[in-house]
Amino acid sequence: MTFREASAWITLLVSVALYGWYFLDVGEDVIGGGAPGAGWMGRLVETVIAIVVLEIVLTAIVAARAGKAARAPQDERERAAGLKATAVAYWVLLTGVISAAVLVGILGGLVSTGRMSWGEAVFWGLNGLLLVLVLSEAAKSGVQIFQLRRTA
Amino acid sequence: MAAPPPIRNHIRRLRFEHGEMTQAALADAIGMTRQTIAAVEAGKYAPSLEAAFRIARVFGKGVDEVFWWEER
């Protein structure tokens, strides 16, 4: 496995595992119609910090094991895989952003009619956007891995 | 899944004829990864025209002596 593929695996697995844990954790608070827990913002910050630290540490370990290959520029096959992955991630992001815009509109309507509090609307809006970003990043890493393995 | 490109090559034989050159040595000579050379050699990845020329030049051959189009 090349350094680029290992790096993509790290991004994919760390993001899916930790954001998955975060969404399950905050999801437990709202399943069954309950209000989102007060500490969700703190848990989100903890999750982001954990992801950044874990990705840096794991990538540093993989880079140390890869030696000079980690410092070498991408070759054309790796660049092609990256471009394909970015193109797919773009469509995931675009679809998600349009969905999030619709969600924000619905949330605005619920808040204006008094059927939802501002706090709940912010919770759903921000977590909806976060989910879009996570899915886009996961799609990018997943397609990159698929492309690299398909042509290896 | 996309079919492999219809481009075949003599890289394996040429490496053998050039002192059993390793894939890593060929990769270093043209600025690619060993995995990409392995993919080209196995016919799973079609190199760019520039990469094809670089590979051919390492062996002192023309591009058409290293790569060919295989009709299906």
- For residue A148, list chain B residues with Cβ-Cβ distance below 8 A: 35
Q: Do B35 and A77 touch (CB under 8 A)?
A: yes
- For residue B2, list chain A residues with Cβ-Cβ distance below 8 A: 150
- For residue A144, list chain B residues with Cβ-Cβ distance below 8 A: none
pLDDT at A37: 67
Q: How many CB atoms lie within 10 A of CB B14?
A: 20
Q: Using an 8 Å Cβ cutoff, are A96 and A131 in contact?
A: yes
Long-range contacts of A96-99 (CB under 8 A, 24+ apart): A96/A131, A96/A132, A96/A133, A96/A135, A96/A136, A97/A132, A99/A128, A99/A132
Q: Where does chain A have alpha helices with state H?
A: 3-30, 40-66, 68-71, 76-112, 118-150
Q: Which residues contact B33 (CB under 8 A, 6 or more apart)?
A: A2, A69, A72, A75, A77, A78, B27
pLDDT at A6: 92
Q: Do B33 and A150 touch (CB under 8 A)?
A: no
Taking the C-alpha atoms of residue A122 and residue A58, their distance in angstroms, rounded to an integer, is 33
- For residue A69, list chain B residues with Cβ-Cβ distance below 8 A: 33
pLDDT at A90: 97
- pTM for the whole structure: 0.83
CB burial of A70-100 (b: ≥16 within 10 Å; e: otherwise) equals: bebeebbbbebbbebbeebbeebbeebeeeb
Q: Over the stretch B10-48, which tens digit does the pLDDT of each residue have? A: 999 999 999 999 999 999 999 999 999 999 999 999 999
Is it the case that residue B1 has pLDDT exceeding 60? no
Q: Do B35 and A2 touch (CB under 8 A)?
A: yes
List the single residue in B32, B39, B48 with the smallest CB-CB distance to A151: B39
pLDDT at A31: 75
Q: CB-based contact (8 Å) between A69 and chain B?
A: yes
ipTM of the complex: 0.82
Q: CB-based contact (8 Å) between A72 and chain B?
A: yes
Give me the helix-helix angle, B23-30 and B34-41, nearest 10°: 110
Taking the C-alpha atoms of residue A143 and residue A150, their distance in angstroms, rounded to an integer, is 10
Q: Do A77 and B38 touch (CB under 8 A)?
A: no
Q: Using an 8 Å Cβ cutoff, are B72 and B6 in contact?
A: yes
What does the pLDDT profile of chain A (152 residues) look like in tens digits?
888 899 999 999 999 999 999 999 888 877 766 667 668 888 899 999 999 999 999 999 999 988 877 888 889 999 999 999 999 999 999 999 999 999 999 999 999 998 888 888 888 899 999 999 999 999 999 999 999 998 87
- For residue A150, list chain B residues with Cβ-Cβ distance below 8 A: 1-2, 44
Half-sphere exposure for A135 (CA within 13 Å, toward CB): 17
